[in-house]
Amino acid sequence: MRLRIWLPSLAELRAESMLGFEVLDAQRHVRNRGETVIAGLPHGIDCELVLHATDVVLLDVRLPKLSGARLAGALPALVEERVVGDIEASHVVASARDAQGSAVAAVVDRSLLRRALELFQRAGHRVIEATAAPLASPHSSGVWHVRLRDGHGSVRTGAASGMGFTCSGKAPLELRLLVAQTSPKPDAIEVDGDCDAQEWNEALAVPVKAAPAATTAPPITLDLLQYEFSRSVVSWRAWRTTLVLGVALLVAAVGGLNLQAWKLRAQEKSLRERMVSIVKETFTQVPVVLDPLVQMRRYVSDLRAGAGTETGEFLSLATALGHAADGDSMQSMDYRDGHFIVRFRPEAASTDAQRTALGERAARAGIALSFSGDGAQLARKAEP
């Protein structure tokens, strides 16, 4: 569904202005018509505005081979000589160019258009398109369509061309000049509104007849909401896919970070428990472990200093053992309560000859090895 709203002059538009509107279905068939103020318009339906005929000037132009921002910057210069007033204050857009590069440019006051859009926005209505009154009338080949309301009128002369004029009942001068300058002349002119068809027929020298009641709204061929007023910039729906993907990626990233943080905390807890266990098993004199890393560093420092403590004894015996046996020959070492137990790999101390050789090398290093089962106890060699 869509709401097509016919606006009065932008300079006279107020929140309390009465507006004609039509409710269109997906095929742009008119389902309902009415008149109300902005606040009384049906909510929840996208709106398209039809600007008053006196607010938009339609001009034929030949477009350069530009697009986007470059074309937006060039358009004012293309129409400046044919527009009354300050072109810098005007919003200029153009229809699609044809095969020869020709198009129709539309000129509207920028500040008045912005003010109209803000009025609808404050009332909770979302405007997605806007066009000029001449281009909101039906179009068919060879037939011009005129719409008359409240002393003003508009005529659609082509797919994207037309003009506005004032009308006091008789055939307006602007329309007579337009017919005289057009070749070939239109086959007929259909008028939606009150007019003297016979007088118009004689003045224009073209068959004039009343237009049938419109049941379908023509598609918009020239949208005024381009460039700075583009709905692709101001409408969240144009960014909906990007926003959904962005939110999904954000949720996935936050979830992944939380999962990783939980795993790291679990690893930290497990590692701390292992460190506490190592400190307690290695240094039995420690009554409580508050910071295993700091306490381990302190006792290792004592070992390196060779203090006359059990830690110093461990370091002394381990150093002597390193001189007596290759490090690769040892499977494990254990030092508890002053007892240093070492287990050799089977290939290094499985025979009596190997054990005897190890014992002799240990004796030369100043220590004694006492083998028992798969292990051997180290002790300082007694002085003679």
Specify the pLDDT at position 234: 47
Specify the pLDDT at position 383: 58
The amino acid that residue 114 corresponds to is R
Please name the residue that has the structure tokens 């009942």.
169
User: What is the per-residue pLDDT across 120-147, written as a single tens digit (0 to 9) for each?
Assistant: 999 999 999 999 999 999 998 999 999 9
For residue 334, what are the β-bridge partners? 341
Within 283-383, residue ranges assigned H as helices are 292-305, 310-324, 346-349, 352-364
In DSSP notation, 179-234 reads HHH-SSPPSEEEEES---HHHHHHHHTS-EEEPPPP-BPPPPSS-S--GGG-HHHH
All residues at 6 or more sequence positions from 40 whose CB lies less than 8 Å from its CB, including other chains: none
Sketch out the chain's domains with CATH numbers.
1-136+216-234 (3.30.420.380), 139-213 (3.30.420), 306-380 (3.30.1360)
The amino acid that residue 101 corresponds to is G
Rounded Cα distance between 174 and 49, Å, is: 25
Each of the 384 residues of the chain gets a pLDDT tens digit; together they read 999 999 999 999 999 999 999 999 999 999 999 999 999 999 999 999 999 989 999 999 999 988 888 999 999 999 998 888 889 999 999 998 888 889 999 999 999 999 999 999 999 999 999 999 999 999 989 999 999 998 899 999 988 889 999 888 889 999 999 999 998 999 999 999 999 999 999 999 999 999 998 899 999 999 999 989 987 544 555 566 777 888 889 999 998 899 998 888 888 888 878 887 887 777 676 666 656 676 677 666 666 555 545 556 666 777 777 777 876 677 777 777 677 788 887 878 888 888 888 888 888 888 888 888 778 888 887 655
How open is the CA angle 20-21-24, to the nearest 5 degrees?
A: 160
Specify the pLDDT at position 39: 93
All residues at 6 or more sequence positions from 173 whose CB lies less than 8 Å from its CB, including other chains: 165
Specify the pLDDT at position 314: 67
User: Which of 104, 172, 174 minimizes the C-alpha distance to 139?
Assistant: 104
Specify the pLDDT at position 351: 87
Take residue 85 and report the two structure tokens written for it: 């007033």
Take residue 145 and report the two structure tokens written for it: 């369509």
Please name the residue that has the structure tokens 């080949």.
141
Specify the pLDDT at position 347: 78
Specify the pLDDT at position 113: 96
Specify the pLDDT at position 287: 62
Specify the pLDDT at position 265: 84
H/E segment holding residue 138: none
Q: Is 344 in contact with 330 (CB distance < 8 Å)?
A: yes
Rounded Cα distance between 172 and 263, Å, is: 82
